[in-house]
Amino acid sequence: MKPALFLDRDGVINEDFDYVYQIKDFQFKSGIFELCKIANQKGYKIFVITNQAGIARGYYSERDFLKLTKWMKDEFEKQNCKITHVYYSPYHPEFGNTKYKRQSIFRKPNPGMILKAQYRYSIDLENSILVGDQNTDVEAGLKAGIGKNFLLLNEGKKNNSSHHAEAIQIKNLGEVIPFL
C-alpha cells in the first residue's frame, strides 16, 4: 500500500476565483509544483479531490471541467509532476437540474472521493496527507481516516472564520513538505 497526497483544487492547486472553468482564469498557487514534485519523489500518489458545484448550478458543463482538467494535468506533467487521478463531484444537494441536484457520498465533507481512490489504488490512508482550504475538505479527510490533514489559510476566504480543530493550519504549501 502506498501513501497519497490528496489535494483540493480551487484554493490549493489554483487561486480560487469562484467557479474557475476556463484556462485563462486558472492561476497556479505558489509552491504547488514543488510540493507535488517532492511528493512524487517520495513515492506518494497524487489525487485531486474537488467539489464542482458550478456544474450543478449550470455555470459550466462537465465537458468544460474535463477540458480544463486535461490542461491542468498536462501542466503538471511539464513540471515533472504526476497526478494519478482527478476525482470530482458535480453534485449539489440544493441547486441544479435533476441529474446533479442530490446528496452524494462523493461531495465533500463526505469521504467518497478519497475512499474511491483508496480502493482503486490501494492507498495507505493513515500515512497519507490531505491539503484543503475549507473545513469540508478536512472533514472528508478525517472521515476517511487520513493521517495528516492541512488547512491552507487563504487571505480573505470564508474558511478563515472558524478553523477545524484537528487540522494543521498552514499559510503556504511549502509547510507541508517536511511532513512528506
Asked if residue 18 belongs to a known ligand binding site, the reply is no
Was 64 annotated as part of a binding site? no
- Find, among 119, 118, 124, 143, the residue nearest to 132 by Cα: 143
Which residue among the candidates 10, 18, 74, 124 is catalytic per the annotation?
A: 10
Indicate which residue of 8, 64, 74, 124 is catalytic. Answer: 8
Closest CA to 106 of 56, 42, 66: 56
The cell numbers describing 135, all together, are 473545513
Q: CB-side exposure of 66: number of CA atoms within 13 Å?
A: 4
- Length of the chain as a residue count: 180
Count the neighbouring beta carbons within 10 Å of the beta carbon of residue 120.
12
Would residue 10 show up in a list of annotated catalytic residues for this protein? yes
Helix/strand/coil for 38:
helix
25 is in an annotated binding site: no
Name the residues annotated as catalytic.
8, 10
Residues in the annotated binding site for Mg(2+): 8, 10, 133
The binding site consists of 8, 10, 133
